[in-house]
Amino acid sequence: MFQREFAQRLVACPGDKLYCRLSVNVQLLARVDHLMKIGRNNFRPPPKVESSVVRLEPKNPVPPVNFREWDAMLRILFTRKNKTLRASFINSKTVKLIDSNYRVYCSMKDVDVPSDFVMKDRIDSILESNNLNLVRPRTMSIDDFLNLLKCFNESNIHFA
């Protein structure tokens, strides 16, 4: 049993107003069902909030994803969930972070980074080649997020 708004966030679907990072993370790891609403009049003394009962069934097996990297990507995308993916990733701080991670990854794998390499252009090309540059996080399914992370990882771009 949870507070109603929290329960609605847990079960929110892509496109819903309450769809957020919490929704994506919980639904990645579990099947979530809203079972019933419980009114405040069922408690003594009555609380100031409504409640809901939610069923969480863990998925087995858990999707093979690096959860630190997954969460880092979702943090970037859901800071402003109504922005397009391109706008979220082209933010100067985000580009700087991703560029830093890319250079560390390349140095660990002994891959040379060209002197004229521009991370902003690399991000643009990844998003455009997968038709994701105009998509908004609030409308993406979990499979879309997994595909996005896979596309970045295949280009040696990591978020954690």
Give per-residue pLDDT as tens, 52-102.
999 999 999 988 899 999 999 999 999 988 999 999 999 899 999 999 999
Q: Using DSSP, how many helices (H) and how many strands (E) does the chain show?
A: 7, 3
Which amino acid, 43? F
> In the structure encoding, which two tokens stand for residue 77, read together?
């995308």
DSSP state of 82: T
pLDDT, position 62: 87
Q: Is 0.85 surpassed by the pTM of this model?
A: yes
